[in-house]
């Protein structure tokens, strides 16, 4: 692995996507559902394999790879584009969102600072994908992913947090199906 780029799309990678300025968007159930539904769609239709995940209030940790003949970079690009569009569209049209004006202003400000955007920027661009090359690294990152909500005080045990894969590793249930792997 050189730098932070995906070279082997079928190999598992640890990736974190954060909202610009670490804005707490995912405190709202509707926005959490956008993420879950999009991950599920990417699994079923785009060749995404999810080995672990955890959605926090302003970022998501993923341990992912692509099925054979699929491009992980393309899948993640499409995921980010769709989720950003969906959430921003809801923010623009939902007058009940109490932080609506402030969040749109922040996303517009971030977009104006990035020549790759026309108006808004939702996700930060520093994903830093890290290829999984050992059991030690895999186990270290999975523990980090699953204990993130415990550390944040959202739950006492990782498997009690619904927006992660921790429950899957206990009893094969959860919001998303998980592709377990051996390194």
Contacts of 159 (CB under 8 A, 6+ apart): 166, 167, 169, 170
Q: Which CATH class is domain 13-96+123-171?
A: alpha beta
pLDDT in tens, 105-153: 999 999 998 877 778 999 998 888 999 999 999 999 999 999 999 999 9
With b meaning 16 or more CB within 10 Å and e meaning fewer, what string describes 75-110?
bbebbbeebbebbbeebeeeeebeeeeebbebbeeb
Q: What average pLDDT score do residues 18-33 get?
A: 96
The residue ranking higher by pLDDT, 40 or 181, is: 40
The band of 1, judged by pLDDT with boundaries at 50, 70 and 90, is very low
Residue with tokens 């959490």: 32
The band of 183, judged by pLDDT with boundaries at 50, 70 and 90, is low
- Contacts of the segment 122-125: beta carbons below 8 A, 24+ positions apart: 122/19, 122/20, 122/80, 122/83, 122/84, 122/87, 122/88, 123/17, 123/18, 123/19, 123/20, 123/80, 123/83, 123/84, 124/17, 124/18, 124/19, 124/20
Smallest Cα–Cα separation from 70: which of 11, 133, 125, 134? 11
Smallest Cα–Cα separation from 13: which of 55, 95, 102, 75? 75
Average pLDDT along the chain = 93
Domain positions in the chain are: 13-96+123-171
**pTM listed for this prediction:** 0.93
The confidence score (pLDDT) of residue 182 equals 60
């Amino acid at each position: 692995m050189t730098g932070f780029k995906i070279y082997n799309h079928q190999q598992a990678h640890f990736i974190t996507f954060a909202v610009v300025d670490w804005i707490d968007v995912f405190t709202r159930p509707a926005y959490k559902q956008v993420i879950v539904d999009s991950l599920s769609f990417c699994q079923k239709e785009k060749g995404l394999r999810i080995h672990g995940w955890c959605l926090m209030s302003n970022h998501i940790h993923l341990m992912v790879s692509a099925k054979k003949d699929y491009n992980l970079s393309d899948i993640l690009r499409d995921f980010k584009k769709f989720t950003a569009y969906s959430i921003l569209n809801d923010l623009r049209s939902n007058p009940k969102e109490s932080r609506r004006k402030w969040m749109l202003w922040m996303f517009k400000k971030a977009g104006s600072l990035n020549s790759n955007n026309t108006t808004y920027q939702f996700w930060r661009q520093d994903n830093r994908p890290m290829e999984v090359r050992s059991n030690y690294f895999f186990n270290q990152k999975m523990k980090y992913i699953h204990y993130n909500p415990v550390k944040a005080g959202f739950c006492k045990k990782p498997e009690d947090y619904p927006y992660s894969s921790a429950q899957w590793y206990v009893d094969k249930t959860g919001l998303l199906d998980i592709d377990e792997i051996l390194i």
